[in-house]
Amino acid sequence: MANTQEEQQKLLHLRKQIFITGYKGGMAHLASCYSCLEMVYALYCKGILRFDATNPKWEDRDRFILSKGHAGLALYGVLMEAGLISEEMYHSYLMEDAQIGGEPCMRDCDWVEATTGSLGHGLSMGQGIAMALQMDQKDAGVYVMLGDGELEEGTVWEAVMSAPAFGLSNLVAILDCNDIQKMDFVEKTIGAPKWGEKFASFGWNVVEVDGHDMEAFTNCLLGLRETADRPTLVIAHTVKGKGVSIMEHNPNWHFKLPGRKELKVFKEELGITDAELE
C-alpha cells in the first residue's frame, strides 16, 4: 500500500484515538469511521482540500461534507490531527458538557460544512454550495462523501440527476464503498446495483480507486481538479472496520462496541493499554 511508514503510524494513532473516545463515550460507529479514515485524512492532511487554518469561513475554501455523518468521529479525529479543533473538544465526546456528538454538526464546530446524520442530505447540500460557488465564479471545489448503503435514499438520486444538468464540474461525490450497511451486506439488502453505471448514465464522470491507498486517492482527486468538466463520482473501494481483524468486512459491527473477549483484540491490534481506557 502506498502509504508511508509515518502515515501508517498516524493512521494507527487515529484509529486508536477514535476507539478510545468512542469506547469511553459508550457508543460509536467504529467500523464506518475506519472504512473512510484514510480518505478523510488525505483530504485534510495531504493537500487535497484548500483551506485557511486560521479562518474556517474563508470564502474561497474547498468544502468537504461527510454525508454519511455517522462516521463523525473520523472527521472530528482528522480535524484534531490537522490542528483545526482541540484535543479537549475531541475527547469531550458524549461526556458531560460534550462539545461534539456522534454526527458532524455546524452548531458545534465551524469546520463542519453541513450538519448531517439523516442520510441522503449531503449531496444536495453540496450541490447547492457548488452552485453558489459557480455563480460567484470561484475556483473552489465541493467534496461529498456518501456511504454505499446511503445510496438507497431516494433524495440522493434527485441530486445525481440535477448536478450534471447544472454543469457542476466543481462537485465530487466520494463513495465509501464498503459493501455493508447497518443490518447486512448492501448486496443482500438491495441486490448488486452497479453504482458507477448508474451515475454515468445520468452524466457523471466516474472513476474508481482504492480508498485505503492515500497516494492513489490523493492523485485521483488532485487530477480531477485539472480535468473535470462535469460532476465526478469517485468509487472508493474500502473495507468496513479496516484495521481491526474481527471487525473487518463483518456486518455485525455497524454500531457496536466490543465485549470483554473482543476488547482484547482491539487492544492488541491498536496498541491500547488498560490505562488508556480508564
Q: Which is nearer to other proteins, 16 or 121 (CB)?
A: 121
The length of the chain in residues reads 278
Cβ 184 to other proteins, closest distance in Å?
A: 25
Q: How many CB atoms lie within 10 A of CB 165?
A: 10
Edge-to-edge strands, sheet with 205-210: 63-66, 142-147, 171-177, 232-237, 205-210
Q: How many CB atoms lie within 10 A of CB 207?
A: 17
Q: Which is nearer to other proteins, 11 or 75 (CB)?
A: 75
Q: How far is CA 126 from the centre of its chain?
A: 14
Q: Which is nearer to other proteins, 147 or 241 (CB)?
A: 147
Kindly tell me which residue out of 8, 86, 118, 201 binds other proteins, with binding defined by CB under 8 A.
118
Nearest Cα to Cα of residue 142 among 72, 61, 78: 61
Kindly tell me which residue out of 7, 62, 113, 213 binds other proteins, with binding defined by CB under 8 A.
113
Q: Which is nearer to other proteins, 65 or 74 (CB)?
A: 65
User: Residue 16 has which C-alpha cell?
Assistant: 486508536
What b-and-e string marks burial along 176-191, b requiring 16 or more CB atoms within 10 Å of the CB? bbbbbbeeebbeeeee
Kindly tell me which residue out of 115, 170, 218, 238 binds other proteins, with binding defined by CB under 8 A.
115
Give alpha helix (H) positions in 59-121. Answer: 72-81, 87-91
Of residues 121-180, which lie at the interface with other proteins (CB under 8 A)? 121, 124-133, 135-136, 155, 158-159, 161-162, 165-166
Cβ 152 to other proteins, closest distance in Å?
A: 15
Contacts with other proteins, 36-75, as mask; x by CB under 8 A = -----------------------x----------------
Count of residues of this chain found to bind other proteins when the rule CB under 8 A is applied = 28
Cβ 225 to other proteins, closest distance in Å?
A: 19
Cβ 122 to other proteins, closest distance in Å?
A: 8
Distance CA 33, CA 74 (A): 5
Q: How many CB atoms lie within 10 A of CB 111?
A: 20
Q: Which is nearer to other proteins, 71 or 270 (CB)?
A: 71
Q: Which is nearer to other proteins, 126 or 251 (CB)?
A: 126
Distance CA 260, CA 170 (A): 47
Q: For binding to other proteins (CB under 8 A), which residues are involved?
A: 59, 106-107, 113-115, 117-118, 121, 124-133, 135-136, 155, 158-159, 161-162, 165-166
